[in-house]
Amino acid sequence: QSALTQPASVSGSPGQSITISCTGTSSDVGVYNYVSWFQQHPGKAPKLMIFEVSIRPSGVSSRFSGSKSGSTASLTISGLQAEDEADYYCTSFTTSNTWVFGGGTKVTVL
């Protein structure tokens, strides 16, 4: 199972919006709405930010939103803040009853 494809890095200025893409195949993102997004700060455990494509867990800022079109899912961070600087990973359930992660995207706040 190949990793989902994410851009290596995305940057933006405070207050701006950025979008991170996550491209899979017809065996994962394209066939299931079980896509999640995680935020990971250096040396810390990942934190669930979005699940089932677009649902925010309790306590996650409404500045984070998710969507999907075909085999590509996206995470948008609006009103970018310094604390949003971190690595972000997508993951999807697959037709093999396994999960596949993306390679990760480093978000830099300029």
Partner 1 sequence: EVQLVESGGGLVQPGGSLRLSCVASGFTFSSYWMHWVRQAPGKGLVWVSRISGDGSSTNYADSATGRFTSSRHNAMNTLYLQVDGLRVEDTAVYFCARGSSGYGNFDLWGQGTLVTVSS
Find the shortest distance in angstroms from Cβ 82 to partner 1.
23
Q: What is the DSSP letter of 26?
A: T
Question: Among residues 12, 6, 7, which one has the least CA distance to residue 82?
Answer: 12
Strands 9-12 and 105-109: parallel
DSSP-based three-state secondary structure for 64: strand
Range 36-65, binding partner 1 (CB under 8 A): 36, 38, 40, 45-48, 51-52, 57
Q: Which is nearer to partner 1, 51 or 64 (CB)?
A: 51
Question: Taking contact as CB under 8 A, which single stretch among the options 11-19, 30-38, 63-71, 77-85 is the one that binds partner 1?
Answer: 30-38
